Amino acid sequence: MRKLRRRPVEESDCRAWGWVVPYSVYVIELRREVLEKARFARKNAGLRGDKPCVYVGQTALAPEERFAQHLEGRKCNPFAREFGVRLRPKLYANVGPFETRAEAERAEVALAERLRRRGYAVWSN
């Protein structure tokens, strides 16, 4: 018997079927050892010593579920997987939710830049 392959559900399919996929932005605190990674350190020359290192992402899952995926190594950012400590909900509490992935991606970039201006060491895709 042949296995059926399911194709991924696309955002456009969800709209056609009347489903709402709520996207959100999340922030993961990273251990300071991430600064030993040259790629991360180069992007964060303006780090203030009293601010943590963070990863900013966007997801259609609950932030807690997405954080668990990072830690398990599924669809993960290497910095979040290796150095992730905990979610920082106060940093993203006033952002989102969003109806489209594009909106969430723009919000992710904006939040990452805002945190970087405040002195956080930030990684975002």
Number of domains the chain is built from: 1
Under a CB-based contact definition with an 8 Å cutoff, are residues 70 and 81 in contact?
Answer: yes
pLDDT (0 to 100) of residue 89: 92
Other C-beta atoms closer than 10 Å to the C-beta of 85 total 15
Q: Examine residue 45 and state whether it is found in any structural domain, yes or no.
A: yes
What pairs with residue 58 in β-bridges?
25
Q: What is the mean pLDDT of each run of 10 residues along the chain (125 residues)?
A: 53 54 90 90 82 92 89 86 92 87 92 92 89
Question: Which structural domain, as residue segments, surrounds residue 93?
Answer: 20-124
Q: Examine residue 42 and state whether it is found in any structural domain, yes or no.
A: yes
Burial string for 36-61 (b: 16+ CB within 10 Å, else e) reads ebeebeeebeebeeebbbbbbbbbbe
